[in-house]
Amino acid sequence: MPARQTSTTPTACLALADGTLFFGKGFGAVGEAQAELCFNTAMTGYQEIMTDPSYAGQIVTFTFPHVGNVGVNPEDDETADPVAAGMVVKWDPTEPSSWRAAERLQDWLAKRGRIGIGGIDTRRLTRAIRHQGAPHVALAHDPNGNFDIEALVAKARAFPGLVGVDLAKDVTCVQSYRWDEMRWAWPDGYTRREGAGPKVVAIDYGAKRNILRCLASAGCDVTVLPASATSEDVLALNPDGLFLSNGPGDPAATGAYAVPMIREVMDRSDMPVFGICLGHQMLALALGARTVKMNHGHHGANHPVKDLETGKVEITSMNHGFTVDSQTLPGNVVETHVSLFDGSNCGIRMKDRPVFSVQYHPEASPGPQDSYYLFERFAAAIRARQTSAA
């Protein structure tokens, strides 16, 4: 397939493993990155997407052309630094025009070592991802426009992919910590939770800050533990509930150490359990189901999901390249939510215990409040257990 070049000298090149080349204008950091390429259809939230740990090992193509128009600011980071390896956009990032902007997107990326490429036909690129599956790519930014094309294609082909790779260990916290910051609300912004509340242990497989804020806003006293936490680590805190966070990589690989922990905790305690995204997949694996790699995954903020138990349709935010195979769910587990795009599994619950999870991100507010009830359901299940034990 012939290379596509911009009208000016290109300063960035995106090379796909099949040899397809896209040339454009580079921004952000100078250098190279190899990753899996996905596309995201969200119209807002590029900063949240770039700092979502679930995007480790991926370069994100943004299908919405207006990127950079609100700048970046520290309040919108989902973790300390960008985790996605790079970004691909149709137009060069625009100058920020938001009163909240603290920095230009281009400068923010450069300081944090992340590469961007603009001037790309993102519609053509998205069609290629949909038809061929998420490709392995190499992205290079050189202000002088000097590219070793053969080497870039070779690096794209050498990228090992995400199947069988545990990336949670790379993005999890190093040590445990407490979390009490709640959701943003006008006019005070982020405030702190005060007073007593049910103790929740959150396992960090790559947790987004806004998920932890939602738990705190639901009244939970949150302690975050690393992905490698054992059942002894969890139970030593005497929690009232267990939360399993989002994260990147192959759930089967992370499950090698996460699944035994979840099973042991559930064997030794009847506490409520709630999982999101990778946490949903971890719970499904612990209950006996299997996960599979998707063709190009679900990445966006406009995904309709149907609650099979109420008939309600929620507009959700998604970011996952693996999915739970609903055909492998055991008899004591009910499928609760499905994607209206492709029918893939989006939620499960146990029939006889307050244990449930969803594939999508209820904290991301695309609806905007369609799915927040899940945090309240988790908190209510904890209170119900405390009442019955009193």
Distance CA 316, CA 68 (A): 23
Q: Are residue 85 and residue 206 in the same domain, yes or no?
A: no
Q: Are residues 147 and 174 in the same domain?
A: no
**Would you say residue 5 has pLDDT above 70?**
no
**pLDDT for 3 beyond 60:** no
The residue-averaged pLDDT of 215-232 equals 98
Q: Give the mean model confidence (pLDDT) for residues 139-158.
A: 97
Give me the mean pLDDT over the 51-75 stretch: 96
Query: 104 is in which domain, residue-wise?
Result: 12-158
Residue 129 lies in a domain: yes
Domain boundary among the residues 158, 186, 205 is at: 158
The reported pLDDT for the residue numbered 221 is: 98
Whether 118 and 208 map to the same domain: the answer is no
Please check whether residue 4 lies inside any domain of the structure.
no
Say what the pLDDT of residue 388 is. 86
Nearest CA among 59, 22, 21, 61 for reference residue 39: 61
| Residues 306, 178 share a domain | yes
Q: Smallest Cα–Cα separation from 212: which of 228, 195, 225, 231? A: 225
Q: Reply yes or no on whether 314 is catalytic.
A: no
The pLDDT assigned to 369 comes to 84
- Asked whether residue 125 is domain-assigned, the answer is yes
Structural Rg of the chain based on CA atoms: 21
Tell me the three state secondary structure of residue 74.
Answer: helix
* Residue of 32, 48, 314, 363 marked active site: 363
CA distance 136 to 91: 23
The model's pTM is: 0.95
Contact between residue 28 and residue 104 where contact means Cβ atoms under 8 Å apart: no
3-state secondary structure of 179: strand
Residues 374 and 303 in one domain: yes
pLDDT, one tens digit per residue, over 12-21 is 999 999 999 9
- Residues 328-371 have pLDDT tens digits of 999 999 999 999 999 999 999 999 999 999 999 999 988 788 89
Least confident of 105-109, 182-186, 225-229, 377-381: 182-186
Provide the pLDDT for residue 204. Answer: 98
- Whether 2 has a pLDDT exceeding 60, the answer reads no
pLDDT of residue 365: 83
What value does the mean pLDDT take over residues 94-103?
94
Residue 208's nearest CA partner among 172, 173, 246, 175 is 246
Computed over every residue of the chain, the mean pLDDT equals: 95
Q: In what side-by-side order are the strands of the sheet with 241-244?
A: 177-179, 221-226, 199-204, 241-244, 273-276, 355-358, 345-350, 333-339, 290-307, 313-325
What is the rounded distance in angstroms from the CA atom of residue 232 to the CA atom of residue 265? 8
Q: Does residue 163 sit within a domain?
A: no
Q: Single out the residue of 243, 245, 241, 244 nearest to residue 272, CA to CA.
A: 241
Q: Does residue 201 share a domain with residue 149?
A: no
361 CB neighbour count, 10 Å cutoff:
25
So what's the pLDDT on residue 368? Answer: 82
Residues 149 and 229 in one domain: no
Residues 243 and 381 occupy one common structural domain? yes
Looking at the predicted structure, is the pLDDT value of residue 6 above 90? no
Among 150, 120, 137, 115, CA closest to 4: 120
Give pLDDT tens digits for 289-330: 999 999 999 999 999 999 999 999 999 999 999 999 999 999
Active site residue 13: no
Are both 212 and 252 inside the same structural domain?
A: yes
How do residues 165-193 score in pLDDT, each as one tens digit?
999 999 999 999 999 999 998 899 999 99
304 prior amide bond cis, ω within 30 = no
| Residue pointed to by tokens 């209206």 | 340
Q: Which of 141, 303, 320, 361 is catalytic?
A: 361
Please confirm, yes or no, whether 181 is among the known catalytic residues: no
Helix axes 373-389, 209-217, angle to 10 degrees: 50
The total of other beta-carbon atoms located within 10 Å of residue 145's CB is 15
Q: How many CA atoms lie within 13 A of 285 on its CB side?
A: 24
pLDDT at 366: 82
Provide the percentage of residues in the chain whose pLDDT is more than 70.
Answer: 98
Residue 168, token pair as written in the block: 């949670």
Of 96, 131, 158, the last residue of a domain is 158
Whole-number percent of the chain with pLDDT over 90: 94
Query: In angstroms, rounded to a whole number, what is the distance separating the alpha carbons of residues 262 and 186?
Result: 38
Is 128 contained in some domain?
A: yes
Tokens encoding 23? 């040339």
* CATH code: domain of residue 103: 3.50.30.20
pLDDT of amino acid 128: 94
Last residue of a domain, one of 107, 132, 158: 158
Domain count for the chain, please give it: 2
β 115-118/333-339 pair status: unpaired
Q: Do residue 180 and residue 147 come from a single domain?
A: no
Can you tell me the mean pLDDT for 4-29? 88
Give residue-wise pLDDT tens across range 195-218.
Answer: 999 999 999 999 999 999 999 999
Whether residue 61 is contained in a domain is answered as: yes
As given in the structure block, the two tokens for residue 52 are 């979502």
What are the tokens at 225? Answer: 């533990």
Catalytic residue (choose from 13, 38, 277, 346): 277
Which contacts qualify for 349-355: CB closer than 8 Å, 24 or more apart? Answer: 350/287, 353/266, 353/270, 353/273, 354/272, 354/273, 354/381, 354/384, 354/385, 355/266, 355/272, 355/273, 355/283, 355/287
Band (220; pLDDT cuts 50, 70, 90): very high
